[in-house]
Amino acid sequence: MAPAAGVRTGRGERIGLGAVLVVAAVAWVWALGSRTLQPYYAAGVHTMSREGPAFFFAGFDPAGVVTVDKPPLAFWTQTLGVVLFGFHPWAIALVQAAEGVAAVFVLHRVVRLWAGPPAALLAAALFALTPITAAVNRGNQPDTLLVLLLLIAAYCVTRAISDARWLPWAGVFVGLGFLTKMLAAWIVLPGLALVYFVAAPGSRGRRLARLALAGGVMLAVSLSWPVVVSLWPGAKPFVGSTTDGSIWQLAFGYNGLTRLVGGTTGIGGGFGATAGAALGGGPGPLRLFDTEIGGQIAWLLPLALGSLAVAACRARGAAPETKAGWALWGGWLVAGAAVFSFTGGIFHAYYTAELAPAIAALAAAGLVTAWRWYRSTGPARFVLPAAVAGTAVFAYVLLDRTPDWVPWLRYTVLALALLAVVAALLRASRVAVVTGLAAVVAGPAAYVGETAARPVSVLEAADPRAGPPSASGLDTVVAVNTRAEAAYVRFIDSAYRLGPGQREVLAYAQAQAPSAAITLAVEGGTYGADPFLLNTEARVAALGGYLGFDPAPSAAGLATWVSAGKVRFVLLPRVFTEIGHAGGDHATVGDDAAELTRRIGWEVQHCRPVPPERIGPDAATAGVLFDCAP
């Protein structure tokens, strides 16, 4: 394959790309007005849109107590949507959809430089029809922006092969990816470095020197915000999901080693070991094909790996430009698949959205190559029907895991593949192409359609998945006590609703302590505070950060706040009384809940429950309101 940098974009290609972008946009903005997002991040964006310090630090609450558990860049772009359109879930979702459509366009441009227009157009379509891509682009996780930035970095590296001035820009965009999702951005570095080293002109030493320069730029951009946060001389929020408020622990602990190998670096060590297995299946070489992950990302993974293997076997006589594309996407996929397959800590299926561009590019290039071989007279002409047949059989396996969902689809996929193979053998090219592509994309396209059509709960929004609903491991992982799982799930699912009792509690606290820096502190993490933060502009704080486990504040710190008049009222949500003991089951969450237990113990010992009848007729439904005034 020859690069297509100098090939003009024809009318047919423009129409085809436009159609792909329109289909992607429709799938990702469908039912925009009724969108359910991860309330934790949405509440943080609401705060960032109103508070300057919160905007810079990625603060979660307007009282400046704690940050969210990610760096700020993705939330800065989402905040832009809120500033333009007001705070609505659809304003955030619109930004996400726009970033997703931009990623499809950039992937098309990168693949076009390497493999030409047909492969580029097919890659864009396959990427848009990847189920987990649709799920993430309809949500508000940082992964949407991360993928876009990494694709721009790939474009810069590809252009740098002929013009070295582009290479530092690749470092800039990978660095921006770090400011979006920290170490997840660095997963693609082997592919980006390999393509330049393999294909760029000049001596080996010169290529290494240029890569080192780009790496230095990447580190400078990556560490710019963390360095400023760590050296900030004034007051700042506690860095969420850490034990000591260190931005470095967040970057290399909670969002680094804790996710990669488990352990106790940062909040979520013991909890993460349980979550990793429940949310994404057990680590191992077949994880990406298992029941938790397979339907999200693996539809074209065998085809992509097979294409890469064939390209590697034929690499000896290939031109450097041809090797470059296979090195880029092969390095991206192999490194990413290795990390995600063997991650032993916190792991969600939607992390694999980072693999989608590489899978789409390799699968598209493989199909286009097989098509060219098919038009020859040698034995290689049988590769295309074999690839279609194998992909269809694997799609049948994935669809058979949900036999009650569109039961006829899996048989239709096999029938289309059989028709394509017969047509290919009979040299009915047009029939073979149409039916073959239909067999390849029918399964993932149906998953994308289902994802766009069905509403999701708050619980599902926290762990985006595509396709038909399935039992999620999150149901068991998030439970503070396994016996109270149903109560905790109801608690999370009510995160967007500010009930009458909660309104009464907030009004009471505002009336009794109008000058307090924190009008109302809510115990037990963000899901208890989310209804207040999403529906009001009151200075409400979520004690303990995301799950309530952070020492933000510690029990001693809370006592200091109360003595200083910073906070008077603390709400213990009703879920804790339903569970039966506030500290939770340590077999489920490990030692992470220790700070939560100590803090609630202090509240029970030093604060007075306010009689619900003094607050309002529905106040009891909100939980127990403690008055901590001396």
**183 & 309 share domain:** yes
**367 & 486 share domain:** no
Predicted local confidence at residue 485, as pLDDT: 58
Predicted local confidence at residue 69, as pLDDT: 96
Helix axes 409-425, 383-399, angle to 10 degrees: 170
Predicted local confidence at residue 346, as pLDDT: 86
Kindly indicate the confidence band of residue 575, based on its pLDDT and cuts at 50, 70 and 90: confident
274 has a pLDDT exceeding 70: no
Mean pLDDT of 442-449: 98
**Is the residue at 388 inside a domain?**
no
Predicted local confidence at residue 587, as pLDDT: 37
The whole-angstrom distance between residue 235's C-alpha and the CA centroid of its chain comes to 30
Please name the residues in contact with 440: beta carbons below 8 A apart, sequence gap of 6 or more.
300, 303, 367, 388, 391, 392, 395
Residue 333 near residue 355 (C-beta atoms within 8 A): yes
**224 & 80 share domain:** yes
- Give residue-wise pLDDT tens across range 356-407: 999 999 999 999 999 999 988 788 899 999 999 999 999 999 999 999 999 9
**Is the residue at 442 inside a domain?**
no
**Is the residue at 93 inside a domain?**
yes
Domain boundary among 377, 403, 425: 377
Please tell me the least confidently modeled range out of 25-34, 282-291, 304-313, 592-601: 592-601
**492 & 617 share domain:** yes
Mean pLDDT of 136-156: 97
Please tell me the least confidently modeled range out of 37-51, 183-197, 466-480: 466-480
HEC readout, 505-550: HHHHHHHHCCCCCECEEECCCHHHHHHHHHHCCCCEEECCCCCCCC
> Considering its fold, how many domains does the chain have in total?
2
**Is the residue at 389 inside a domain?**
no
- Give residue-wise pLDDT tens across range 347-357: 999 999 999 99
Q: What is the mean pLDDT of the chain?
A: 90
**358 & 489 share domain:** no
Q: CA–CA distance from 187 to each of 250, 276, 302 (Å)?
A: 17, 18, 21
**Is the residue at 314 inside a domain?**
yes
**367 & 503 share domain:** no
**Is the residue at 413 inside a domain?**
no
**Is the residue at 390 inside a domain?**
no
80 has a pLDDT exceeding 50: yes
Amino acid at 614: R
Kindly indicate the confidence band of residue 275, based on its pLDDT and cuts at 50, 70 and 90: low
β pairing state of 569-573 and 540-542: unpaired
By C-alpha distance, which of 265, 260, 288, 282 is closest to 345?
260
286 has a pLDDT exceeding 90: yes
- Give residue-wise pLDDT tens across range 202-235: 999 999 999 999 999 999 999 999 999 999 999 9
**494 & 360 share domain:** no
471 has a pLDDT exceeding 50: no
**Is the residue at 270 inside a domain?**
yes
Mean pLDDT of 584-600: 67
Predicted local confidence at residue 505, as pLDDT: 98
Mean pLDDT of 109-124: 96
Q: H helices within 87-203, ranges in order?
A: 89-115, 117-128, 131-137, 143-160, 167-181, 189-199
Distance of alpha carbon 321 from alpha carbon 82, whole angstroms: 43
Predicted local confidence at residue 319, as pLDDT: 75
Please tell me the least confidently modeled range out of 8-22, 88-102, 467-481: 467-481
**107 & 229 share domain:** yes
478 has a pLDDT exceeding 70: no
Predicted local confidence at residue 483, as pLDDT: 47
Domain of 275, in residue numbers: 11-377
Q: H helices within 281-345, ranges in order?
A: 294-297, 301-313, 320-342
**370 & 489 share domain:** no
Predicted local confidence at residue 76, as pLDDT: 98
Domain boundary among 377, 398, 423: 377
**373 & 489 share domain:** no
267 has a pLDDT exceeding 80: no
Q: H helices within 182-268, ranges in order?
A: 189-199, 204-231, 247-249, 258-261
Burial of 373 from C-beta contacts in 10 A (0-12 / 13-18 / 19+): middle
Cis peptide before 553 (omega within 30 of 0): yes
Predicted local confidence at residue 480, as pLDDT: 41
Percent of the chain with pLDDT over 70: 90
Predicted local confidence at residue 352, as pLDDT: 97
630 has a pLDDT exceeding 90: no
Domain boundary among 314, 346, 377: 377
Distance of alpha carbon 96 from alpha carbon 106, whole angstroms: 15
Provide the 8-state DSSP code for 10: P
- For 623, the 3-state DSSP assignment is strand
**370 & 490 share domain:** no
Mean pLDDT of 97-124: 97
Please tell me the least confidently modeled range out of 16-25, 252-261, 548-557: 252-261
**76 & 196 share domain:** yes
Provide the 8-state DSSP code for 572: E
